[in-house]
Amino acid sequence: MKFTKMHGCGNDYVYVNLFEEQIEDAPALSIRVADRHFGIGGDGLITIGPSDKADFRMRIYNADGSEAEMCGNGIRCVAKYVYDHHLTNQTTIRIESGAGVKTLDLTVENGLVSRVCVDMGEPILEAEKIPVVAEKSPVIDEPITAGERDWKMTCVSMGNPHAVLFVDDVKTFDLDTYGPLFEHHKRFPNRTNTEFVAVHSRKEVSMRVWERGSAETWACGTGACASVVACILNGLTEDEVLIHLRGGDLTIRWDRQSNHVFMTGPATEVFEGEFPL
Catalytic residue among 9, 117, 155, 220: 220
Q: 160 with 69: CB under 8 angstroms? A: yes
Pick left, alpha or beta for residue 217 (phi over 0 → left; psi -120 to 50 → alpha; otherwise beta).
Answer: beta
Which helix (H) or strand (E) covers residue 171, if one does?
Answer: none
| Rounded Cα distance, 188 and 169, in Å | 25
> Minimum CB separation from ligand API for residue 171, in Å?
21
DSSP per-residue codes, 96-143 = EETTEEEEEEEEEETTEEEEEEEE----B--GGGTT---SSSS-SSEE
> Minimum CB separation from ligand API for residue 148, in Å?
26
193 annotated to bind ligand = yes
Residue 154 found at the interface with ligand API (CB under 6 A): no
Which residues on adjacent β-strands are paired with residue 260? 255
89 annotated to bind ligand = no
| Site map (CB under 6 A) of ligand API, residues 41-70, x = contact | -------------------x-x-----x--
> Minimum CB separation from ligand API for residue 77, in Å?
9
Is 225 annotated in the active site? no
> Minimum CB separation from ligand API for residue 150, in Å?
25
Write down the H helix ranges in the chain: 26-34, 72-84, 175-183, 221-233
Residue 214 found at the interface with ligand API (CB under 6 A): yes
Q: 143 with 134: CB under 8 angstroms? A: no
Count residues binding ligand API (CB under 6 A): 19
Among 30, 73, 97, 227, binds ligand API (CB under 6 A): 73
Of 207, 248, 23, 274, nearest to 116 by C-alpha is 248
> Minimum CB separation from ligand API for residue 219, in Å?
7
Residue 29 found at the interface with ligand API (CB under 6 A): no
Nearer to ligand API, 121 or 213 (CB): 213
Of 18, 26, 69, nearest to 48 by C-alpha is 18
Q: 215 with 202: CB under 8 angstroms? A: no
234 annotated to bind ligand = no
Looking at 180-188, 214-222, 232-240, 253-261, which segment touches ligand API (CB under 6 A)?
Answer: 214-222
Which residues on adjacent β-strands are paired with residue 91? none
Is 220 annotated in the active site? yes
Nearer to ligand API, 213 or 248 (CB): 213
Residues 74-103 that bind ligand API (CB under 6 A): 74
Nearer to ligand API, 41 or 202 (CB): 41
Binding positions for ligand API, rule: CB under 6 A? 11, 60, 62, 68, 71-74, 160, 193, 211-214, 217, 220-223
